[in-house]
Structure 1
Amino acid sequence: CYADIIAMRHPKEGAPLRASMYATVPVINAGDGGHNHPTQTLIDLMTIRQRKGHLDHLTVGFCGDLKFGRTVHSLVNSLVRHPENEFYFISPEELKIPDYVIEETLKPNHSFYKEVTSLEETLPKLDVLYMTRVQKERFFNEEDYVRLKDTYILNREKLNLAQPDMPVLHPLPRVDEIASDVDQDPRAAYFDQVQNGKYIRMALIMALLEIPDPLTGRTVL
């Protein structure tokens, strides 16, 4: 009752949806467990469009924790709406993309996808690479986390296998899945994502509060 907007991040899937059924103000899903992260997806789409100029006819690779990576699930759900996008899912068997993403999102949209384990072999095929961290908080025991956390590490040497205009995205924070020597490469787009996050969330708040754009006088959405 004290707020005009509720932004909720919750460890349990579906919590923001449930909250929205009772709240009298808009509820923003800022990430629900390992399910979805829609505001991050808006940021990712904006960054990809800035770097590539379009959101269709792209080959996108997702690497790392694809099982619990809510940003991956949300972004795939959006990119399938644009024609002729193809997807490579790079992960160990234990962290592969969930079946529900394949059955409910990829197959109904007749999207090409392939599950692979080698980052090096896949890099030359990609227009966009989306890296994710292996999330310690999602594991039931530390032994499995330690075994899997360093499965994929992108460094400058591996990045040389990729196209010269292939942006590298990451929702952050990173642990060690992207080496610091990648930060100075012009293809590193994850700091752009942080900057775009400010603009996207400002626009979303303005839209929900029905605040008009000061330049045009129109509401944002």
Structure 2
Amino acid sequence: MARPLKQQSLDIPRRAIEVAIELLSEKDASSITMAEIANRIGCRGPALYNHFRNRNALLRAVHDEGFQRLYSHKLGLLTRHKNDALARLREGGEAYLIFAAENPALYRLMFFPPQIEEIDTQPFSADPAQKALTLLRNNVIEIQQMGYLPEQDSNDVAFTLWSTVHGAALLMAQQRTPDVGLNAELLAKNTVNTLMLLIEKTRST
């Protein structure tokens, strides 16, 4: 019986996404080639094209993977803090900022993708991104039921919270924070703590 080819034992789609993320930290997305990715993961070009019809399709998969990781983390918080909506909101914000700081190239692709047909310029058109936003909105509804942010539209609040941490993430990535000496984790905690203090002040009595 013939021995299977090495590439037959590879999880080519998964490895291709991982390698593409690695390459994004080294070069612009437009400079990445399918041949380079195939070479790094140890498969032939045709095998890679069996899973992704072109580079743009692979970049779309990488884009969605970023949001899937965020969504998966939020699901974990839902399990860990099932009965504590405030703790879930706090940790979710901190984790978001740390994720952006630790994965700057992936984060950039998620929100500033190249102008290609496969990736919509609206980030929340991706299914995992929409799911992550829905989890945040549901979290907002829970704290509203506890008396916080009364009479505010939950969609508006969720978008505002996401926009705030997104803006902070971009400033952190560009080292344009008031104290550039602080590490990402401490900056994340300080930023989210300020947000949470403002939210806590809104609780109706």
- TM-score scaled to structure 2, two decimals? 0.31
Q: Which is greater in Rg? A: 2
More helix by share: 2
More strand by share: 1
- TM-score scaled to structure 1, two decimals? 0.30
Higher relative contact order (CA 8 A, sep 6+): 2
